[in-house]
Amino acid sequence: MTEIRIHEVGPRDGLQMEKQIVPVETKEAWVRAAMAAGVDIVQVGSFVHPEKVPQMADTDELFRRLVAGKESQTVLSGLVLNEKGLERGLACGVEMFCMGASASETHSRKNTGMGTDEATRRIVAMGKEALAAGKRVQVSVQSAFGCGFEGRIPIERVQRIVETYLEAGLANISLADTAGHADPALVSGLFGVVRALAENVECTCHFHNTYGLGMANTFAALQAGVTTVETSWAGLGGCPFTKMAAGNVATEDFVHALHRQGDRPDVDLLRLIALARDVAAHFGREMPGYVYRCGPIPNGPASVAGPFVDQSRREDVR
């Protein structure tokens, strides 16, 4: 599993459910902390109408701050749902565009106001435009493993959307468990179907922990050949347009698990724990993550966090 990439979605998926607006200065500090910890991609925000998701109203400004004089190798991604969002993202410096359609007709209409087929057509056109502008593009199938409104989603429906993406030259594919209905066997089977469709497909997974299976599903996805995992600081998050919103797999929990088996020692776990604790302190409540509360397992692989560990912060996790 040496090729695993970590996509931190806390600034977007983590915050979109929160009613307490986080100041842009605080968001910037949190994103920079994630970048300093060595995660590969950070999803800075989404380009949505501020009345629908007020927490994302400052996404354009946040991107402008982060790309100005940027030296970090961390890729800054942004979620777009429509052409206006793409236009805004191109104007403020998004490096990687994330966009997708839901395999659930009900969720699609609640989330975007469009049915699945219309959303897919528009996403394909937007993806091509972003690629032509020299940007990275990741396309997703939301509610791929089930829907709180519709229940189990037929595999054929997910496969049809993925095939449409691939035919358009969009090969970076994410399957999102928006409702948290996935289980390891379903994860292995569905990613197996996707990877069999094209040799050049790159797979990403995104799991919500609604029923406590997020980490198990993540490792099932890795075993099935997934190379990028989307996680959120402290496990914060949830889709406001699904029936039962729940948090994500916590970034620091996932990195801790990787360190236990000797993977990604370059990612600074202690910085991620400090970040998760800062998020929890800001909101004044306990977060869904585990490792930020108890610290890493001592005297094992996780305690050797690699050459980029800030040794001065070790007292924060004892």
Q: What is the H or E stretch that residue 197 is in? A: none
Looking at residue 143, the DSSP 8-state letter turns out to be: T
CB-neighbour burial class of residue 24 (10 A; exposed 0-12, middle 13-18, buried 19+) = middle
Catalytic residue among 92, 147, 205, 239: 239
Instruction: Give CA–CA dist 228/204, Å, rounded.
Output: 5
Strand spans (E) along 73-171: 75-80, 96-102, 136-142
Q: Which two tokens stand for residue 79?
A: 């979620």
Q: Pairing mode, if any, of strands 228-231 and 96-102?
A: unpaired
Residue 52, helix vs strand vs coil: coil
Find out whether 228 and 202 touch, Cβ atoms under 8 Å: yes
Three-class SS of 1-39: CCCCEEEECHHHHHCCCCCCCCCHHHHHHHHHHHHHHCC
Residue with tokens 């066997």: 185
Q: Which two tokens stand for residue 133?
A: 């502008």
Q: Which two tokens stand for residue 35?
A: 């970048």
- Residue 239 is a catalytic residue: yes
Q: How many residues does the chain have?
A: 318
The CA-based angle 74-47-289, given to 5 degrees, is: 55
Instruction: Give CA–CA dist 241/262, Å, rounded.
Output: 38
CB-neighbour burial class of residue 101 (10 A; exposed 0-12, middle 13-18, buried 19+) = buried
Catalytic residues: 239
